[in-house]
């Protein structure tokens, strides 16, 4: 870390120091769901409900976000691709069944389809199928009907509006969760402006989502807590209000002088290349925002996550 504003490793982008560290990420199961509706408004209602409260697997059992507009929705209507991430296939199936049933089926005019994972073709060993529509069909109370179109089976569940259509099986693959970087800035305003710029740039990357509210994390966490009943607690080393307080506890703040606010951007993606590209675009955008002093990344010493994204490699430094 830079001390007194002097870079220690000499890595810089747009005059902002890039710490020589890495983001530690994890293999997660991922599914792409294409949600369509009669128009953009209702597709977004369904997508936002389905991906809501899917911030972190720690407390939500799943991470999710809207990837972008579906390029070719199966039914020809407006559609949104959503990505869902969970730690296991079993948890994914459970969570996705609930979300499709509660958030999509209940939404006017909506339907949902397997968005497949074409970017993971060639990695068949990691691909599988989850039975989602085949479970939701029982809501039809015996009046549900299926229709095989092409190679895929779809379930038609009678609802008060007409029919809810859902594909029987959804493709599940191995994605990556937990790509991240930290924006250290002189003020809260500067940090937020930089984070917003980063998020805007990162959302152009297909195959990647930013699961946190607005794509930005203000309450980064550390593993463990002084309280035994908590698995994670606030990332004290990056809390500016604890810079001096930590000294009293013989601990060290990670914040250089002049940094008064930190935001973290977390990215989940179907592939490592999508993580890298999202991080690259995000960091470049953040460093162009005034008041940013340093870019860092969160890791656990490299002992927990299989995927390490070194900032200098991501940025080609």
Beta carbon nearer to other proteins, 145 or 304: 145
160 counts as binding other proteins under rule CB under 8 A: no
186 counts as binding other proteins under rule CB under 8 A: no
Beta carbon nearer to other proteins, 126 or 140: 140
Q: Which of residues 223-262 bind other proteins (CB under 8 A)?
A: none
Do strands 111-114 and 22-37 pair parallel, antiparallel, or not at all (unpaired)? antiparallel
**Smallest distance from other proteins to CB 71, Å:** 14
**Smallest distance from other proteins to CB 34, Å:** 12
Q: Which of residues 100-139 bind other proteins (CB under 8 A)?
A: 111
**Smallest distance from other proteins to CB 120, Å:** 22
Stretch that binds other proteins, among 97-105, 156-164, 250-258, 287-295 (CB under 8 A): 156-164
Beta carbon nearer to other proteins, 170 or 238: 170
DSSP string, the chain: --BTTB-SS--EETTEEE-S-EEEEEEEEEEEEEEEESSHHHHHHHHHHHTTT-S-HHHHS-EEEEEEE-SS-TTSSEEEEEEEEESSHHHHHHHHHHHIIIIITTSTT-EEEE---GGGTT-GGG-EEEESHHHHGGGGTT--EEEEETTEEEEEEEETTEEEEEESEEEEEEEEEEEEEEEEESSHHHHHHHHHHHHHHHTTSTTEE--SGGG-BSS-EEE--SSTT-SEEE-GGG-GGGHHHHHHTT----PPTT--EEEEEEEEESSHHHHHHHHHHHHHHHHTSTTEEEEE---STTSS-SEEEEHHHHTT-
**Smallest distance from other proteins to CB 136, Å:** 15
Site string for other proteins, 76-105 (x = CB under 8 A): xx----------------------------
**Smallest distance from other proteins to CB 75, Å:** 4
Beta carbon nearer to other proteins, 133 or 291: 133
156 counts as binding other proteins under rule CB under 8 A: yes
159 counts as binding other proteins under rule CB under 8 A: no
**Smallest distance from other proteins to CB 74, Å:** 6
Residues of this chain that bind other proteins (CB under 8 A): 74-77, 111, 145, 147-150, 154, 156, 162-163, 165
């Amino acid at each position: 870390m830079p001390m007194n504003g002097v870079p220690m490793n000499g890595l810089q982008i747009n005059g902002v120091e890039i710490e020589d560290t890495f983001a530690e990420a994890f293999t997660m199961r991922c599914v792409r769901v294409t949600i369509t509706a009669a128009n953009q408004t209702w597709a977004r209602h369904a997508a936002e409900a389905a991906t809501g409260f899917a911030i972190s697997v720690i407390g939500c059992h799943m991470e999710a976000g809207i990837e972008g507009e579906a390029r070719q929705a199966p039914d020809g209507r407006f559609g949104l691709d959503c990505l869902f991430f969970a730690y296991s296939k079993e948890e994914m199936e459970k969570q996705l069944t609930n979300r499709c049933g509660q958030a999509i089926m209940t939404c006017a005019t909506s339907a949902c389809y397997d968005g497949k994972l074409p970017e993971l073709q060639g990695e068949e060993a990691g691909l599988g199928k989850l039975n989602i529509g085949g479970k939701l069909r029982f809501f039809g109370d015996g009046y549900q009907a299926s229709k095989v179109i092409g190679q895929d089976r779809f379930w038609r569940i009678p609802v008060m509006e007409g029919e809810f259509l859902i594909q029987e099986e959804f493709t599940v693959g191995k994605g990556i969760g937990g790509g991240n970087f930290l924006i250290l800035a002189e003020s809260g305003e500067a940090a937020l402006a930089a984070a917003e710029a980063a998020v805007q740039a990162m959302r152009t990357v297909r195959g990647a989502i930013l699961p946190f509210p607005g794509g930005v994390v203000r309450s980064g966490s550390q593993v463990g807590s002084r309280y035994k009943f908590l698995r994670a607690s606030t990332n004290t080393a990056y809390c500016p209000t604890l810079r001096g307080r930590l000294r009293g506890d013989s601990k060290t703040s990670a914040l250089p002088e002049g940094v008064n606010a930190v935001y973290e951007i977390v990215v989940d993606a179907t592939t490592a290349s999508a993580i890298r590209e999202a991080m690259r675009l995000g960091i470049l955008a953040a460093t162009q925002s005034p008041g940013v002093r340093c870019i860092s990344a969160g890791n656990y010493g490299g002992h927990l996550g299989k995927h390490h994204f070194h900032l200098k490699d991501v940025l080609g430094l």
